[in-house]
Structure 1
């Protein structure tokens, strides 16, 4: 019994020592760091080095700060209109989409920024995306697993196409047309053609909602549903036009124009020719009889 009391006393003395306190503190820090790494959100896990962020900031100051401000806070004109929106919180995915498709830097502000030739290399785009991501948490650039359809069985792909078609017709056809051919929008804007666009940019557009497009975050459309839409659009690209001329796939506008010009216009032309030919025949007969 006395031996046990002596052992407990020595343990108690060591526990109150400075080394024991330091060990407990280190253990607590390691445990806290491990738990944070395991349960932190994806945006906090982005491993953007200081050198990459610094490189992206240099590119940003040269090519983007005139419209978006030196700190990405956005710039307004003297009359209060927004020259360039704030980029705080838009995330790396927005930069990868806008710069990767050539829409930014913009040549001239307008209702709709068209796609054009890309001005930066992939590494420069990644650097700018890292800098903008450091301004505030936002959507990350999707990985290949998020949008790739490689390795799927025909049955799984067909199921995704069916599900994606339902989602697309419900949420997207009002602007992009049932065939993804795009269409006109109010105030000079337009929904661009998305048929044949790279899957990564389709995913990023849904994730970030560029310009007039709605933002379909992962809370609105899950990553699996976004992938279903991509599968549906790819199936449209690979499907032939069984009905003959597709006429751009933009629906009743082109079809109505073709009906008036070709259909009714052709009928009017034939009727005019028949009437003129009949009149000439009648005049010839009248001269012969006279």
Structure 2
């Protein structure tokens, strides 16, 4: 009887060891599940907080005199930036419109003072401060524009943009010394950010008015025009569209007819 008893004890020890091993695996797995996802989830937040801290330092050195210590704005100098979002900051800074040297009817596009990395840091600070529209992911935007329906973008542009920017993206005058700028050679992300945030006199085209895909279609159409595949007629004439070309043809035609009439009358 001793041998079967020893055999049973041996199997019990083996089963006990297996149970302890499985329990240890379950414990390790539980600890990993509890803590590892939190670590990975916190990493982007930590990166964003670090970027926002860099942006605050830049803001305190370069922007606080016009926009206030807490971005609440300074009367007669600069508006509040609370709630404008990172997309508005990146558009204004990367296009060189901010910082402004002086108050004018409209901030003009010029060479940027800050690098794109500094602009991103400033945007992160303003985004953290008050929220608002965020700049699109550059890879997503490039893919969306590359695969967009250009014809649909043309329809959307003519309905929503051509009245100010011209049928061929040449821009146009507005009231009180303001103007709609030309869209020639404007980077893709800046066009998207402008539609999303509505800088200066431009209306806001939020996602409930023009979806992200529709914005990409408009940008694809603008790029189509800017690549001279459709310059707007035999002569661009400033790329203001058919109204300019019609006026030019009318004036040239009337002048030609008048001269021809005078020549015929002189001959007779």
TM over 0.5: yes
Matching of residue 199 in structure 1 with residue 188 in structure 2: yes
In structure 1, stretches of 5+ residues that fail to align are 1-26, 38-44, 78-82, 280-290
Matching of residue 208 in structure 1 with residue 200 in structure 2: no
**Equivalent-residue separation in structure 2 for 1:209 and 1:221 (angstroms):** 13
**Equivalent-residue separation in structure 1 for 2:230 and 2:124 (angstroms):** 41
- Structure 2 residue aligned with 1:58: 57
**Equivalent-residue separation in structure 2 for 1:247 and 1:234 (angstroms):** 19
Contact in 1 for aligned 2:196/2:205 (Cα 8 Å) = yes
- Structure 2 residue aligned with 1:258: 248
Aligned counterpart in structure 2 of residue 235 of structure 1, from 196, 219, 224:
224
Count of residues paired in the alignment: 231
Contact in 1 for aligned 2:192/2:215 (Cα 8 Å) = yes
Contact in 2 for aligned 1:147/1:230 (Cα 8 Å) = no
Q: Any residues of structure 2 matched to 1:148-159 within 5 Å, and which?
A: 148-149=142-143, 157=148
- Structure 1 residue aligned with 2:15: none
SS of match in other structure, 1:215: coil
Judged with a 3 Å threshold, the aligned counterparts in structure 2 of structure 1 residues 146 and 208 are, in CA distance, closer, same or farther, namely farther
SS of match in other structure, 2:245: helix
- Structure 2 residue aligned with 1:248: 238
- Structure 1 residue aligned with 2:101: 107
Q: Any residues of structure 2 matched to 1:91-106 within 5 Å, and which?
A: 91-106=85-100
Judged with a 3 Å threshold, the aligned counterparts in structure 2 of structure 1 residues 90 and 113 are, in CA distance, closer, same or farther, namely same
Contact in 1 for aligned 2:145/2:216 (Cα 8 Å) = no
Judged with a 3 Å threshold, the aligned counterparts in structure 2 of structure 1 residues 230 and 251 are, in CA distance, closer, same or farther, namely closer
Contact in 1 for aligned 2:82/2:130 (Cα 8 Å) = yes
Contact in 2 for aligned 1:146/1:223 (Cα 8 Å) = no
**Equivalent-residue separation in structure 1 for 2:122 and 2:133 (angstroms):** 14
**Equivalent-residue separation in structure 2 for 1:168 and 1:215 (angstroms):** 14
Q: TM-score, normalised by structure 2?
A: 0.74
Contact in 2 for aligned 1:102/1:117 (Cα 8 Å) = yes
Matching of residue 164 in structure 1 with residue 163 in structure 2: no
Give the RMSD, CA atoms, in angstroms.
3.0
Q: 1:278, CA displacement in angstroms? A: 5.8
Aligned counterpart in structure 1 of residue 170 of structure 2, from 181, 193, 216:
181
Q: TM-score, normalised by structure 1?
A: 0.69
Contact in 2 for aligned 1:57/1:131 (Cα 8 Å) = yes
In structure 2, stretches of 5+ residues that fail to align are 1-30
